[in-house]
Structure 1
């Protein structure tokens, strides 16, 4: 039969589905399935990475800086304000910054105190320990020209060594040349020179190689006082002992020999005590009172706190007995007074530091002082 004509508008339109949009049966669309696979893969990736963590909070460190107000100790007028001082700074750091503001005062001659009449603060003090608030008020005092402790000791001990030798050779400007040529020297004169030189040579060597001297400074006027004391007494002692009219000791060689042996023993004891103190300080064993060792010269630690001062006084007393001169006796007496004051301060310091040791121990002289 002839086919009927169907108009185009009534014809069924054939739609062809692209291959990439067919489902497993070849007719359904696959685009939603691909979306599901993408979402599933993304979910697995997120779960395998673990829990999502918030980004770390950045904490900004807040450092508290101090301001140091420096006032004149006499007039109470403000000299300057040193700001932005970190808490870890020491007083020496403050002095260096103060020097930058006021170049006419070097750190060595700057003395700072919390109170006008209070004690001077040490350079090693942490600035945080002084702070009651963010502003610290310190009082300034000009300490004058300063010199190091090493310079002080070397100057004080080198002078007596050279001065005594000048008197020993009997310079014509000091003694009469004719009288010096006629008189014969007693053996004690040579022995006294040897003992005197030995004492100060030992002190110089210990200053250079044994003692751990502080890196601090002291006013120049203190060094002048010390030099005047040591140099002046050395000149007085050496003048009498090396004088052509010098009279030997009353008991002769027995007195000289006994005193010389005691002098050498005291010199040896002084050296061993100084070495023991340095060793105990470096090893950290000095927790209370200094302790003796197997060295017999250190056994004096069981009776006194400062046996080095005991031996020092023993040296000068024996030197006085050996030479039998008044200047040496006066020098030994004044040295004993000064050393006794230092020994008492050290003894009190040991007592404060020691919490368990309270036995009766003297400062310098056994059972007396």
Structure 2
């Protein structure tokens, strides 16, 4: 058994009104984790060592965190929480609502009817299938290492998909500029079925490959655990995050098909975020597995 004192950190709240409190954790210092402390306190909040700002991961043992028996942890009230699964569902549902509205009701948004080109048909189908796939993965494939996040973050996280991938992309590609009678489309490669089929084939390969990498990651983590293991095979032998690589290539295909500034902005922003996440994942893999982790690039084979 290990004894832990919980005190308040940061702003005062109703959560901290009864602090400090002393908890007895029915496990040894070398096996008791931060999650055990949270369970004993019955709160999903940020825990830190006293006078430190960095939060402690749930699976960190108290011993590895540098805690001593009878020591003190500080808890910070992060406010209302929401599950990561719910956040993902909300993020991806935005484009699934916005794109059909702009595609099927052009008079509302452009002031007149739009005779859709073959390119617009293809892009619409690709966008809808992509985000339906993301919703499917969120519900049936992904296993989340973190259960919740602050509710306020959902607005920040959704902005990329709702504003750039939803409003921005949809308004641009379903506009009269890309209609069947537009000089930007008529008689160009963007009106050539062979070009569109070739792009679709590459895009479909990327989507299926992205799904496969997500399934590989899912199978590394048994149900009900936060266990991590080194992923191998299908892209993982080249980079740490092939799921991001396939995602990027799929969206670059859409950019090349349309030439739309909106699609490039959405894709470039996504590359920035995915690159940031990829570097963090790569560092965590190397830190956790040390010399066992094979040499591989971060996100883009042979380059980065």
| Residue 95 (structure 1) shift | 3.9
Residue 267 of structure 1 is matched in structure 2 by 207
Q: Identify the match of residue 252 of structure 2 among 295, 317, 322.
A: 317
Q: Identify the match of residue 251 of structure 1 among 182, 186, 189.
A: 189
Structure 1's consecutive aligned runs of 4 or more residues displaced over 6 angstroms after TM superposition are 283-286
**Cα gap change, 1:97/1:308 in structure 2, threshold over 3 Å: closer, same or farther?**
closer
Alpha-carbon distance in structure 1 between the residues aligned to 2:245 and 2:274: 9
Alpha-carbon distance in structure 1 between the residues aligned to 2:33 and 2:279: 30
Q: How many residues align?
A: 285
Tell whether the 8 Å contact from 1:72 to 1:78 is kept in structure 2 after alignment: no
Larger Rg: 1
Residue 202 of structure 1 is matched in structure 2 by 133
Residue 281 of structure 1 is matched in structure 2 by 221
**Cα gap change, 1:275/1:137 in structure 2, threshold over 3 Å: closer, same or farther?**
same
The 5 Å alignment of 1:56-135 reads 64=1, 66-73=3-10, 80-88=19-27, 90-95=33-38, 98=41, 107-108=43-44, 110-127=45-62, 132-135=67-70
Residue 355 of structure 1 is matched in structure 2 by 291
- Gaps (5+ residues) in structure 1? 1-63, 100-106, 293-297
Alpha-carbon distance in structure 2 between the residues aligned to 1:320 and 1:276: 28
Alpha-carbon distance in structure 2 between the residues aligned to 1:145 and 1:358: 40
Alpha-carbon distance in structure 2 between the residues aligned to 1:243 and 1:308: 31
Tell whether the 8 Å contact from 1:72 to 1:79 is kept in structure 2 after alignment: no
Alpha-carbon distance in structure 2 between the residues aligned to 1:126 and 1:334: 36
Q: Identify the match of residue 168 of structure 2 among 236, 243, 250.
A: 236
**Cα gap change, 1:136/1:238 in structure 2, threshold over 3 Å: closer, same or farther?**
same
Residue 274 of structure 2 is matched in structure 1 by 339
Tell whether the 8 Å contact from 1:156 to 1:231 is kept in structure 2 after alignment: yes
Q: Which has the higher contact order (CA 8 A, sep 6+)?
A: 2
- Gaps (5+ residues) in structure 2? 179-183
Q: What is the TM-score normalised by the length of structure 2?
A: 0.83
Residue 79 of structure 2 is matched in structure 1 by 144
Residue 91 of structure 2 is matched in structure 1 by 156
Tell whether the 8 Å contact from 1:149 to 1:216 is kept in structure 2 after alignment: yes
Q: Deviations over 1:259-300 (max 9, x none)?
A: 222111110110111112222334999743x211xxxxx1x2
Tell whether the 8 Å contact from 1:161 to 1:200 is kept in structure 2 after alignment: yes
Q: Deviations over 1:131-176 (max 9, x none)?
A: 7544222223221221000100010011111111111112543221
1:301 aligns with 2:224: no
Alpha-carbon distance in structure 2 between the residues aligned to 1:156 and 1:121: 27
Alpha-carbon distance in structure 2 between the residues aligned to 1:134 and 1:78: 24
3-state SS, counterpart of residue 109 of structure 2: coil
The 5 Å alignment of 1:10-29 reads none
Q: What is the TM-score normalised by the length of structure 1?
A: 0.69
Alpha-carbon distance in structure 2 between the residues aligned to 1:186 and 1:307: 33
* Two-structure CA RMSD over aligned residues (Å): 2.9
Tell whether the 8 Å contact from 2:220 to 2:229 is kept in structure 1 after alignment: no
